[in-house]
Amino acid sequence: MIGYLVRRLLGIAGTLLVICAITFVIFYLLPTDPAVMFCGKDCPPDRVAQVRQQMGLNAPLVVQFARYVLAIFAGRTMGTGQYVVHCGFPCFGYSFQSGAPVWDLIMNRLPTSVSLAIGAAVVWVLLGLGVGVVSALRKNSWVDRTLMVATIGAAAVPVYFTAMILLYVVVVLLGWLPFPSYVAFTSDPVGWVQNLILPWITLALATAAMYARMTRSSVIETLAEPFVRTARAKGLCERKVVGKHGLRPALTAVATMLGMDLGSLLAGAMITESLFSLPGVGKLFADSLHKADQPVVMGITLLASFFIVTSNLVVDLLYAWIDPRARLS
Binding footprint of another protein on the chain (CB under 8 A): 3-4, 7, 225-227, 229-237, 240, 245, 248-249, 322-325, 329
Separation CA 6–CA 1 (nearest Å) = 9
Closer by beta carbon to another protein, 176 or else 321: 321
Closer by beta carbon to another protein, 86 or else 327: 327
Residue positions counted in the chain: 329
DSSP string over 205-227:
HHHHHHHHHHHHHHHHHHHTSHH
The answer to whether 326 and 255 have CB atoms below 8 angstroms apart is no
Closer by beta carbon to another protein, 225 or else 287: 225
**Smallest separation (angstroms) from another protein to the CB of 329:** 8
Separation CA 131–CA 124 (nearest Å) = 10
Separation CA 249–CA 263 (nearest Å) = 23
**Smallest separation (angstroms) from another protein to the CB of 211:** 21
The answer to whether 88 and 74 have CB atoms below 8 angstroms apart is no
**Smallest separation (angstroms) from another protein to the CB of 305:** 25
Separation CA 197–CA 90 (nearest Å) = 33
Radius of gyration (Cα) for the chain, nearest Å?
A: 25
Closest Cα partner for 315 from 269, 248, 249, 253?
A: 253
Closer by beta carbon to another protein, 4 or else 83: 4
Biggest alpha carbon–alpha carbon distance for the chain: 86
**Smallest separation (angstroms) from another protein to the CB of 135:** 17
**Smallest separation (angstroms) from another protein to the CB of 143:** 18
Closer by beta carbon to another protein, 8 or else 291: 8
**Smallest separation (angstroms) from another protein to the CB of 139:** 10
Closer by beta carbon to another protein, 188 or else 323: 323
Closest Cα partner for 115 from 186, 209, 210?
A: 186
